[in-house]
Structure 1
Amino acid sequence: MPAVNDADIRRVARSLLVEQGPDAMTLRAIARELGITAPALYRYYESRDDLVAAVRTDVCTDLAKDLEAAITDLPDDAGLRFFAICRGFRTWALTHSREFTLVFASPVTAGITSAMQQFGEPVGRIFLGAAGRLLTEYQVLTPPLDLIPPEIRDDLLKFQTELLAVLADSGQNFPAEKLDLGVSYVMIQFWARLYGHVTLEVFNNYPIQITHPDALFDTTLADIGRTIGLIAN
């Protein structure tokens, strides 16, 4: 039996993901590619879910590196960098559609949660860190509190607490008083619109044929920016 290690297993699993999609990452298929028996994989992972979670982590780490690279040579402007990260996320999703599917468009199961539900993950830290700088340096427009559904206020308050913890861990001197309920609401809506647009484009699920998707994305991003008092550069 060939000698294998954890890196080999994750490499083959990710190769199957990229070539065939998330469902192809079975222990049997991975073992076959490595020339070993499926039970041998249990020395490294207790279940397929554990292996998939490890691959997710690898994908998120690489995505975070891509997003960091997207802003490396930009001026030190919070708005410019935030929108560059948004564009970088779209570019990565379009060129890594099956990895995007695994991390951002697969049902949440035990032990495997959305990358954006774990703010301490590399991707969550980049988005939230950039948002923190944006809130520090810009005056974000927020809706009146009576327009925020009372049913989601507890969720928004929890989000505030988690966000402040991440920002503190990242070393940002973020003024906590700027993160009120309205700002939390705007941030969640921003992500929903960005994610929704990218998902439609990745899966080609627009209700009409879009011949210039770049233009649609740019105008959508600019519109979101104007809604909260920013202009997408």
Structure 2
Amino acid sequence: MDKPEPAGDVNPQTSSRRGRVRAATDQDIRRTARRLLIDRGPEAVTLRAIARELGITAPALYRYYGSRDDLVQHLRLDVIADLAAELSKEISGLAADGTARLFTICRGFRRWALTHTKEFTLVFASPTGDVGSATGSVATLNRASEPFGRIFLMAAGQVLATHKLTIPPADSVPAELRDDLTAFQSELLSVFTESGVDFPLDRLDLGTTYVMIQFWARLYGHITLEVFGNYPIPLSKPDAVFDALLADLAHEIGLELA
């Protein structure tokens, strides 16, 4: 006859089984949240709706997430990771000098945004799904540690490291922006260092940082107008318009569009 376990001991098998159940339930929650997002939009992702879909009580979800914002943040990271993985696969066979990779990422990001509009809205309009909120938005590249920001900046870093670009002098940068750009430079250097980019430090001045932010702002702005159907005029050939934008961005910094 087996001896009963001491009351104070934890059965490793029981603990392991509980851990697996918890992990599986967490996956179910996030999978359900993703489905609600895709089918109905960011506003449909609520703890109550997820609980109803899973056949559990809403309070039970608080064992996994402290709030809706907590869950949405994890959902955001899932979406960003999937986007980065998709783009990484797309550029894996391209030349390492960065040009082809950078513009392939630009095109791939637009294609993903137009075919994943609900996920784009959640991630790039607001981390909480409240369209129009700028707080914490990844509409800029200030989340360099996240997978998509990292892959974009790595490609940009390769271009900066291997090409002689047309960059405006640092003193032409608006004085009101210089402190913000200087702060952003440390994040850029960290990304370049961790990714193994042999980046000449003398090239990362305020003019370079300003060009990078302007490049992203124009790219993101164009894609956002397309996603939300807000382009100023109807576009019969939107791909051609986007390619023209990329050509302009490349020309302005002395690159040939790849």
TM-score category (smaller protein): over 0.9
Higher RCO structure, 1 or 2 (CA under 8 Å, sep 6+)? 1
Summarize the Cα distance change of 1:192–1:113 in structure 2 as closer, same or farther, 3 Å threshold: closer
Deviations 1:99-128 (A, max 9, x none): 00111112245xx54273211111111011
- Correspondence list, 1:138-157, <5 A: 138-157=163-182
Unaligned runs of 5+ residues in structure 2 are 1-20, 127-132
* Contact map agreement 2:46 2:68 (CA 8 A) in 1: yes
- Correspondence list, 1:1-233, <5 A: 5-106=25-126, 107-109=133-135, 113-114=137-138, 116-233=141-258
Q: CA RMSD in A?
A: 1.6
Per the normalisation by structure 1, the TM-score is: 0.94
Separation in structure 2 between the aligned mates of residue 12 and residue 37 of structure 1, nearest angstrom: 14
Separation in structure 1 between the aligned mates of residue 233 and residue 144 of structure 2, nearest angstrom: 34
Separation in structure 1 between the aligned mates of residue 171 and residue 183 of structure 2, nearest angstrom: 19
Q: Which runs of 4+ in 1 moved over 6 A?
A: none
Residue identity opposite 1:165 in structure 2 = S
Per the normalisation by structure 2, the TM-score is: 0.85
Separation in structure 2 between the aligned mates of residue 95 and residue 231 of structure 1, nearest angstrom: 28
Shift of 1:180: 0.8
Shift of 1:139: 1.3
Unaligned runs of 5+ residues in structure 1 are none
**SS of corresponding position for 1:5:** helix
Shift of 1:90: 0.5
* Contact map agreement 2:154 2:195 (CA 8 A) in 1: yes
Of stretches 144-153 and 60-69 in structure 1, the one that deviates more from structure 2 is: 144-153
